Structure 1
Amino acid sequence: MAFAARLKNRRQSISTIRGENGANHPSSCSCSPDKLQPDAMESRATSTKARLLLLLLLACTCGAVSPSSEAAEAKALLTWKSTLTFSDANASSPLSSWSPASFPCGSWSGVACNAAGRIAALTVPGAGVAGTLDALDFSALPALASLNLSGNHLAGAIPANVSLLASLASLDLSSNNLTGGIPAALGTLRGPRALVLRNNPLGGRIPGSLAKLAALRRLDLQAVRLVGTIPTELGRLRALTFLDLSRNSLSGELPPSFAGMAKMRELYLSRNNLSGVIPPDLFTSWPEVTLFFLHYNSFTGSIPPEIGKAGKLRFLALEANNLTGVIPAEIGSLTGLQFLDLGRNSLSGPIPASIGNLKLLVVMALSFNGLTGLVPPEIGSMSLLQNLDLNGNQLEGELPATISSLKDLYSLDFSNNKFTGTIPSIASKKLLSAAFANNSFLGSFPRTFCQIASLALLDLSSNQLSGELPNCLWDLEDLLFLDLSGNGFSGKVPSAGSANLSSLESLHLANNRLTGGFPTILKKCKQLIVLDIGGNHFSSQIPSWIGSSLPFLRILRLRSNSFSGSIPLQLSQLSHLQLLDLAANQFPGPIPQGLLANLTSMMKPQTEFNMTSLIHQQILHLDAQMNFVERIDVNWKMRSYTFLGTIALMIGIDLSGNSLSGEIPTELANLQGLRFLNLSRNHLSGHIPENIGDLKLLESLDCSWNELSGAIPSSISKLPSLSSLNLSNNNLSGEIPTGNQLQTLDDPSIYNNNSGLCGYPLVACSKGSSATVETRDTELETVYFYYSIIAGLVLGFWLWLGSLVFFKTWRTYVFCCVDRLLQDKIQRGEGRVYGCSWSRHSHPVSRQWDHDRFGFIMDTLTAIARRLASS
C-alpha cells in the first residue's frame, strides 16, 4: 500500500539521519552514552563537545513518531469518516482528501500536525458533515490540541471519552445538533483554554465539574437550553476572561463567587430568567471588564453606584429587567463607554448631567422607563452619538438646542413624553430615523428635515403642529415612512409636479385639516403599502388610477372625509389589499358588482406577512435599536382600536356611514379571510346573503341602520369566530337563528327596531309563527309532498273510473275479472276481500263489512257497479 511505502520511506530517512551522525551508531536508537564512539581523540574538551552534540542529535532522532502511532491516528479518522454523511450529496466531500493512500500530515484537509508529526489540530467547520462523534476514537489522538467541528450537522451526545484528549487546549462543537447535556467528564481535561458549545440543543444543567478547568479562559454555552441555577463552583475559574451563558433558561441569583473571577472581560448572561440584585462587588472586582450584558432577565433593585469603578467598561446592557431607582451619577465615570442600554425598566428621576462625560458613547437607549425632568443640555457634548432613544418616559420641557451639535446621529426618538416648545434643528446629514410622536410640540413643519436626504423614517404624529406642509417634504427620495397624523396641518397636498416619492411605503396623514381632492402626488408612489388619509377634509372622487398606480397597497383608509361619486371598480385591481376603510364619506349607489371579486389577499387568512419587517427592513438592518412598529386605527367590534404591528393580520372592510343602496353582493362570501365587515348606516336593502356563513374567520359583523328585510339566514349561526353582531334598525323578520356561537350574543339591542323579529334574546315567537327560514321551508316542502300524493291518488281514481264509464268493453272485462276472483274466493272459503268475509258453509253469501276501513267505499262501489252493469 502507498501508506506502507510512505512509512518505509520515513524509516529510511531516519536511518539516513543516524548514519550521517555516526557510522558506528546502533540502529536500535539507544540513547545510552556508553555506546557512543568518537572518530578521533583530540583534546578532552573537544571530545566532550562532540559527545554532547551526538547526544542531542540522537535525542531528536529517538523522538521520531513510530509507524504504529501514525497508523492509529489515520485509522481513527478514517473510521469516523466512514460513519459520516454530507448535507450536499452533489458536492464533493470536504473530507475527500482523507484517504488510506495518503498521509494525514500535510495532505488531509482540516488536519494539522506538530513538529513531531502527530495530529495536533482537526479543523472542519461548516463542512456540512452529518453524523455522530461516537465512532471517533479520541484515545488515538493524544497530541490533539485543537478540535473545531462547528457549524455542521452532528447529532447525538458528546462522548464522555472526549476527556481522553490529554493535550486538548481548544474544543469548539458549536452550531450543531448535539444533545444529551454537557458531560461532566469534560471537567477531567487537563488544560483546555477554550470550551465552545453554543447553539446546540444540549439541555440539562451546567456541571459543577467545569470548575476544575483551572486554565479555562473562554466558556461559551450560549443557547444550549440550560436550566437550573449557575453553579457557585464556576467562581473558581480564576483565569476566565469570557463567559457566555445567554439565551438559556437559567434562573436564580448570580453567585457571589463570581467576584473571584478577577480577569473577567466579557460577560453575557442575557435572555435568561435570572433574578436578584446585580452584585455591586462585580464592578470593583473586575477591573478589566469591558462588556457587561444582563438584558432581558428579571434583575431587581437599583443600578449600583459601584458601576463607576469599572473604568474599562465599553458596553453596558441592562435592558428589560425590573430595575428601579435612579440612574447613578457615577455612570458618568465610564468615560470609555460606547453602548448604554437601560431601556424597559422602572427607572425614575432625571437623566444625570454627568452623562455628558461619555464622549465616546455611540448608542444611548433609556426608553420605556419613568424618567422625569429635562433632557440635560450636556447631551450635546456626546459628539459621537449615533442612536438616542428616550421614547416612553415622562420627560418634559423643551428639548435643548445642543442636540443640533450631534452631527453623527442615525436614529433619534423622543416619542411618548411630555415635551413642549418647537422641534429643534437637526444638523446630522446621516439621519435615517426621527420620531417625535405623542408630545406637545408646537409650530410648523420643521424644514430642517427637508435637507436630510438620507431620511427614511419621520414620525411627527400626535402633536400640535400646524400650517401647510412644505413642498420640499415630497422631494425626500429615500423616505420610506411618513407619519404626520394627529396634528393641525392644513391646506392642500401638492400635486405631483417634480416631487419624487418612489420609495415611500407608508403614509399617514390622518386627523389633520387637509383639503383638496385625492392627492395626485400619490400616483408616483409605486411602492406604497399603507395609505391613511382619514379624518381630513378631502373631497371629490377616488381616481381610477389608484388600482394601477398603487399595485402593492395593503391598507387603504379614507374614512371621515367628503369623498363622493361611485366607489371605483378599479379598487378590485388591488390584489394585495387587506384593509379597505371608506367609512363616513358620501359614496352613493350600489356596491359595484365585481369589486370584491379580485381582492385575493382577503380570500385567505394572513399568517406570514410581517408589516414591520417589510416596510422597515431597509431601516432596521442598519441599527437594531430602531424599534418602530406600524400602527393603524380601525373601527372593529363597534369600537375604535389602534392596532400596532399586527395590522397585517387584520383583514376587513368598512363601508359604513355612506349612502350606499342596493343589495349586499353575494360575492362577499369569497373573502374567506375577512375578520370584520361593517356596512352600517347606509340604505342597503334586500336579504342578508345566505352564504355569509362561509366567512368562517369573521369576528365582527355590523349591518345596522339599513333597510334589510327578510329573515336572518340560519348560516349566520355557523360562524365559529363571531363575537360582535349588530343587525338593529332594519326590517328583518322571523325567528332569530339559534345554536353555536350565536347563543353567546345575548344582548337584545343588537336586534332592536326589527318589528318582525322574535326568539332569543328577544321575546319568544308565538305558536303560530314559523321558526326560521329553514324550518318554514321544510314545513312547506312536507305539506306540498302530501298534497301531491293526494292529488295523484284522486286523479288516478277518476281516470280509472272514467275508463269504466266511457268504455263498455273495458267495463265488461273488469267486472268479469272481479266476478271470477270473487267466485274463486267463495269456493275456497278464504280470507277477507274488500273488507268482507266469505264463509264456505253458508249460501247465499253473507257480507260482513269493515265499516271503519272500507264499508263506505265498498257500498258506493257496489252501487256504481250494479248501475253500470245494468246499463
Structure 2
Amino acid sequence: MASATRTRTHTAAALLLYALTFRLLTRASSTAVTVSPPPAAAAAAEAHALLRWKSTLPRSSFTSDPLSSWSPATPACTTWAGVACGEDGRVAEVALPGAGIAGTLAALDLAALPALAGLNLSGNRLAGAIPASVSGLASLVSLDLSGNALTGGIPGAALAALPALRVLVLRNNSLGGAIPASLGGLRTLERLDLQATGLVSTLPPEMGGMASLSFLDLSRNNLSGGLPPSFAGMSKMKELYLSRNRLSGTIPPEIFKSWPDLTLLYLHYNSFTGTIPAEIGEAKKLRRLSLLSNNLTGVIPKEISGLPSLQMLHLGKNCLTGPIAPSLGNLTQLVILVLSFNNLTGMVPAEIGSLTALQELDLISNQLEGELPPTVSLLKVLSYLSLASNNFVGTVPNFASQQLVYAELNGNKFSGGFPLSFCQSTSLEILDLSGNQLSGQLPSCIWDLQDLMFMDLSNNALSGDVLASANSNLSLESLHLANNRFTGGFPSIIQYLKMLSVLDLGGNNFSGAIPSWIGSRLPLLRFLRLRSNMFNGSIPLQLLQLSHLQLLDLASNNFEGHIPCGLTNLTSMIRPQTEFNMRSTVHHQILYLEADFYYANRVDVNWKMQTYEFQGAIALMTGLDLSGNSINGEIPTELTNLQGLRFLNLSRNHLSGTIPANIGDLKLLESLDLSWNELSGHIPSGFSALVSLSSLNLSNNMLSGEIPTGNQLDILTDPSIYSNNFGLCGFAMSISCSTGSSIQPLDPNKEFEGVYVYYSIIAGVVFGMWLWFGSLVFFAPWRISFFYYVDFTQRKLMR
C-alpha cells in the first residue's frame, strides 16, 4: 500500500489570530508602563546596542542587506528596518524574520532594551546559544527565534524570569538537552512551540502549572516516558502536538475532563499503550484527533461518536479490535476517517453513508469482510479511498464522487465486471484494483480519464481484447495488466500513453509481434514486462530507441531470431541507477492540510531463479530477461557494455558460440543465467571479476575447459551450476583437470554420447509400453486374461 504522508500546517485563521494577538500584546506592553520620555542618552544607548550587534554580524550573510538602514545618522524608531517603538519612544519590537542574518546573539545587549516587547528573528541562520541576558527583558511578550541553528539548550531559568511572556517559539533549532522544569512557572504563557529542537528528556510534571497555556507543540523530538496526569492543570489547552517522539504509557483520562476547550490532539508516532479512554467523549469541542502508529488496543470507544465537531479521526497503525460501530455515522462533520492497519472485524456499517462530508476513507489492512454497503454512493465528496487488504466480497459499489483522486481496493475478493463508476471519476489519478476476482472485458471508457497516472488491474480474471478509445490519456505513467486473461495483439491504446514509464502485460494471452511504434511512442518507458504471453517474431530494433529502458523482460514467449545489435543505445542499462524511489505522487488539500499521497510502483522480477515483487527500490533495478524463447545466434559482445545490469537471463534459448570474453565488465551483475543453450568453448576467466555475483547457472550447454576461480566463483561451488557440460573440470565439479596441459574442447558428437544413450533407453521404454498396451487392445484373449488376473488379485486382497 501506498501509505499517505501528510504535512501539518496551521490554518490561515490561526496564523492571523496569532499575528493580531501579537500586535495587541506588543501595544499593550508598550503602553502599560507609564514612564517619562527617555532622555537622549537612553535612546542613543538603545541604538548603540543594536548597531554594536550589527557590527558583529558577517556582511556576507545579508541576502539583500536588510540592515543597511541601520545607521547612526538616522533615528531608529522611524527609519530602521524591523525596528518599531512604542508611544514612549522606546524600542518595543525588533522583527527581522527571514532576513538571511547569520552570526550569534552573544553581542546583542538585551539589557539596553528594557521596553522590548517583541523579538522575532525567525528563519535566519543564527547560531550559538540563547543568551542568559534575555532574563532582563521584563516587558517581553513574544519571543520567536525559530528556524535557526541555535544550540546550547533552553535557558529555563532566564525564560522563567519573564513575567509578561505569552508567546515562546523556538522550533526548528538544534538546542538539545531537556525541557527545563522551570518553564512550568510561566503562568502567563499561552503559546509554547518547541517542535524539532532536539530535546531528549521526559515531560516535566511541573509543566502542568502553565495554567494559561492553550497551544503546546513538542513534536519531532526524542521525548520519552509518559504523559503526566498533571498536564490536566493546563485547563485552557486547545491544541496539543506531541507526535513523533518516544512517549509511552497510557493516555491519562484526566486530560479530557480538564480540557473542555480542546480542539486538536496529535499523539501520533509514539508508543502509547492501553485503550483509548472513554473520557474522550467529554472533549466536545474536539475537531482533530490523531493517534496514528501507537500500540493502542481494545475497541474504538463508542463515546467518540458523541463528538459533534470532530472533523478528523486518525487511529491507523494500532492494535484495535472489534467492529466499526454504526454510531460513527453520527459524526456528520467528519472529513478524514483513517482506521487502517488494525485488526478490525465485521462489515462496514451502512451508516457510513451518513458521513456526507467525508473526503478521506482509509480502512486498509484490517480483517473486514462482507459486501460494501450501497450507501457509500452517498459519499459524493470523497477524494481518497483505501480499502485494500481486507476480505471484502461482491461487486464494487458505485462510488459516485466526482472528486475521487485515489482509489485503492486491491487485495480483496471483489468480483463481477470492472466498476464502470470509476469512468465517471474524472479527477481520478491513482486506481488499484489488483488482486481481486474481477472478470469480463476492460471498458474503453477508462482511457478517457485524462488525469489518471497509475492503474493496476493485475491478478484478476479480466479477459478479451484491450479496447482502444477515441480519447488518449496524457498522464498515465504506470500501467499494470499482468496475470489476467487478456487476448489479442499488443494493445494499440498504449501508443497514445506518451508519459508511460512502467508497462506490465505479463502473464496473459497476448500474441503477435511487438509493434514498431513502441520505440517512438513511449519515449519515457523504463520498465517493460511482457513475459509469459504468446508474442512472436523477432525482437524489434525499435526497442533499442528506448534510452530510458532499464528493465526489459520478454521471457517465456515465442520470440526468435538474433539478439539485435545496438544494445548500447539502452543508455540507462549502461550506467548504474542511483534514484532510490519511484512513486506516483498525488498532491491534494484536505481539511486545510496540504496532503501528499504517495504510491510506490511495484514490478514482479524473476530474480535469482525466484519471482520477487520489487516495490519502492524498483528504480534501482536494471536487468534483461530474454529466457524461454527461440532466440539463436551468438551473444553480442556489446551486451557487456551494459554495465548497469544487475541481472541477465538468456536461458532456454538456442544461443550458440562462446560466452563473451569481457563478461567481467558487468561489475554490478548479481544474477546470470545462460543455461539450456548451445554455448561452447571455455568459461572466460573474466567471470572472476564479477564481484557482485551471487546466482549463476551455466548448466546444459557444451562448455569445456577448466572452471575459473576467484572472488565470487570461490563461493558458487554447487555442481549443478555447471552440470551437463561434459567438457568442464575444476574444483566445483570435483573433476581434476590434467596438470600441465590444457584441456581441449570435446568433440560435440562425443560430448553428447551420454545424452544419446539416455534418449535410447527412454525410447526403448516407451516402445515397450506401447507394445504391451497394444497387445491388450488388439488381442482379446490376452485382454481377458489380464482383467481376470486383476479381478482375482482384488478378491484375494479383500479377504
| TM bracket, shorter-chain basis | 0.7 to 0.9
Shift of residue 499, structure 1, vs aligned partner: 2.4
Shift of residue 86, structure 1, vs aligned partner: 5.5
User: Deviations for 1:7-41, whole angstroms, at most 9, x for unmatched residues?
Assistant: xxxxxxxxxxxxxxxxxxxxxxxxxxxxxxxxxxx
Q: Is the 2:580–2:616 contact (alpha carbons within 8 Å) kept by the matching residues of 1? A: no
Q: Is the 2:439–2:463 contact (alpha carbons within 8 Å) kept by the matching residues of 1? A: yes
Q: Identify the residue that residue 686 of structure 1 maps to in structure 2.
A: 657
Compared with structure 1, are the counterparts of its residues 532 and 357 closer, same or farther at alpha carbon in structure 2 (3 Å cutoff)? same
Say which SS state the counterpart of residue 499 (structure 2) adopts: coil
Aligned counterparts of 2:126 and 2:489: Cα–Cα separation in 1 = 64
Q: Identify the residue that residue 750 of structure 1 maps to in structure 2.
A: 721
Q: Identify the residue that residue 310 of structure 2 maps to in structure 1.
A: 337
Compared with structure 1, are the counterparts of its residues 392 and 221 closer, same or farther at alpha carbon in structure 2 (3 Å cutoff)? same
Q: Which structure's CA Rg is the greater one?
A: 1
Q: Identify the residue that residue 719 of structure 1 maps to in structure 2.
A: 690
Q: Identify the residue that residue 796 of structure 2 maps to in structure 1.
A: none
Query: Amino acid of the residue matched to residue 630 of structure 1?
Result: N
Q: Identify the residue that residue 738 of structure 1 maps to in structure 2.
A: 709
Q: Identify the residue that residue 562 of structure 2 maps to in structure 1.
A: 590
- Quick check: 1:369 aligned with 2:342? yes
Aligned counterparts of 2:588 and 2:238: Cα–Cα separation in 1 = 32
User: Deviations for 1:836-860, whole angstroms, at most 9, x for unmatched residues?
Assistant: xxxxxxxxxxxxxxxxxxxxxxxxx
Q: Which moved more, 1:506-515 or 1:157-166?
A: 157-166
Q: Is the 1:518–1:538 contact (alpha carbons within 8 Å) kept by the matching residues of 2? A: yes
Query: Amino acid of the residue matched to residue 740 of structure 1?
Result: N
Q: Is the 1:736–1:772 contact (alpha carbons within 8 Å) kept by the matching residues of 2? A: no
Say which SS state the counterpart of residue 725 (structure 1) adopts: strand
Say which SS state the counterpart of residue 442 (structure 1) adopts: strand
Q: Is the 1:87–1:128 contact (alpha carbons within 8 Å) kept by the matching residues of 2? A: no
Structure 2 residue aligned with 1:655, among 619, 626, 629?
A: 626
Q: Identify the residue that residue 277 of structure 2 maps to in structure 1.
A: 304
Q: Within 5 Å, which residues of 2 pair with 1:116-155?
A: 116-155=88-127
- Quick check: 1:176 aligned with 2:148? yes
Q: Within 5 Å, which residues of 2 pair with 1:619-658?
A: 624=595, 626-658=597-629
Q: Is the 1:711–1:772 contact (alpha carbons within 8 Å) kept by the matching residues of 2? A: no
User: Deviations for 1:726-762, whole angstroms, at most 9, x for unmatched residues?
Assistant: 2221222222222222222232222221222222332
Aligned counterparts of 1:650 and 1:291: Cα–Cα separation in 2 = 43
Q: Identify the residue that residue 513 of structure 1 maps to in structure 2.
A: 485
Say which SS state the counterpart of residue 761 (structure 1) adopts: helix
Shift of residue 79, structure 1, vs aligned partner: 1.1
Aligned counterparts of 1:161 and 1:695: Cα–Cα separation in 2 = 64
Say which SS state the counterpart of residue 123 (structure 2) adopts: coil
Q: Within 5 Å, which residues of 2 pair with 1:397-546?
A: 397-495=370-468, 497-546=469-518
Query: Amino acid of the residue matched to residue 500 of structure 2?
Result: L
Query: Amino acid of the residue matched to residue 706 of structure 2?
Result: E
Aligned counterparts of 1:61 and 1:744: Cα–Cα separation in 2 = 87
User: Deviations for 1:247-272, whole angstroms, at most 9, x for unmatched residues?
Assistant: 11111111222122111111111111
Query: Amino acid of the residue matched to residue 679 of structure 1?
Result: L
Aligned counterparts of 1:87 and 1:741: Cα–Cα separation in 2 = 54
Q: Within 5 Å, which residues of 2 pair with 1:820-859?
A: none
Aligned counterparts of 1:688 and 1:620: Cα–Cα separation in 2 = 56
Q: Which has the higher contact order (CA 8 A, sep 6+)?
A: 2
Q: Identify the residue that residue 286 of structure 1 maps to in structure 2.
A: 259
Query: Amino acid of the residue matched to residue 406 of structure 1?
Result: L
User: Deviations for 1:562-615, whole angstroms, at most 9, x for unmatched residues?
Assistant: 111111111111111111111111111111011x21212222222235311xx3
Query: Amino acid of the residue matched to residue 185 of structure 2?
Result: K
TM-score, normalising length: structure 2:
0.86
Q: Is the 2:406–2:431 contact (alpha carbons within 8 Å) kept by the matching residues of 1? A: yes
User: Deviations for 1:650-676, whole angstroms, at most 9, x for unmatched residues?
Assistant: 111111111111222222222222111
Shift of residue 66, structure 1, vs aligned partner: 1.0
Aligned counterparts of 1:620 and 1:742: Cα–Cα separation in 2 = 55
Say which SS state the counterpart of residue 734 (structure 1) adopts: strand
Q: Is the 2:61–2:102 contact (alpha carbons within 8 Å) kept by the matching residues of 1? A: no
The runs of 5 or more residues in structure 2 that have no matched partner are 1-32, 745-799
Q: Identify the residue that residue 215 of structure 2 maps to in structure 1.
A: 242
Query: Amino acid of the residue matched to residue 338 of structure 2?
Result: A
Q: Is the 2:586–2:598 contact (alpha carbons within 8 Å) kept by the matching residues of 1? A: no
Seq. identity, %:
65
TM-score, normalising length: structure 1:
0.79
- Quick check: 1:187 aligned with 2:144? no
Q: Identify the residue that residue 794 of structure 2 maps to in structure 1.
A: none
Query: Amino acid of the residue matched to residue 722 of structure 2?
Result: Y
Query: Amino acid of the residue matched to residue 111 of structure 2?
Result: S
Query: Amino acid of the residue matched to residue 175 of structure 1?
Result: G
Aligned counterparts of 1:484 and 1:62: Cα–Cα separation in 2 = 77
Q: Identify the residue that residue 265 of structure 1 maps to in structure 2.
A: 238
- Quick check: 1:98 aligned with 2:70? yes
User: Deviations for 1:432-455, whole angstroms, at most 9, x for unmatched residues?
Assistant: 111211111111111111122111
Q: Identify the residue that residue 18 of structure 2 maps to in structure 1.
A: none
Q: Which moved more, 1:402-411 or 1:710-719?
A: 710-719
Say which SS state the counterpart of residue 341 (structure 2) adopts: coil
Shift of residue 523, structure 1, vs aligned partner: 1.1
Say which SS state the counterpart of residue 583 (structure 1) adopts: coil
How many residues were matched structurally?
709
Q: Within 5 Å, which residues of 2 pair with 1:785-796?
A: none
Q: Identify the residue that residue 203 of structure 2 maps to in structure 1.
A: 230
Query: Amino acid of the residue matched to residue 660 of structure 1?
Result: I
Shift of residue 62, structure 1, vs aligned partner: 7.5
Q: Which moved more, 1:346-355 or 1:666-675?
A: 666-675
Q: Is the 1:580–1:652 contact (alpha carbons within 8 Å) kept by the matching residues of 2? A: yes
Query: Amino acid of the residue matched to residue 633 of structure 1?
Result: D
Say which SS state the counterpart of residue 693 (structure 1) adopts: helix
Q: Identify the residue that residue 355 of structure 1 maps to in structure 2.
A: 328
Query: Amino acid of the residue matched to residue 727 of structure 1?
Result: L
Q: Identify the residue that residue 523 of structure 2 maps to in structure 1.
A: 551
Q: Is the 1:87–1:129 contact (alpha carbons within 8 Å) kept by the matching residues of 2? A: no
Aligned counterparts of 1:201 and 1:116: Cα–Cα separation in 2 = 37
Q: Is the 2:498–2:522 contact (alpha carbons within 8 Å) kept by the matching residues of 1? A: yes
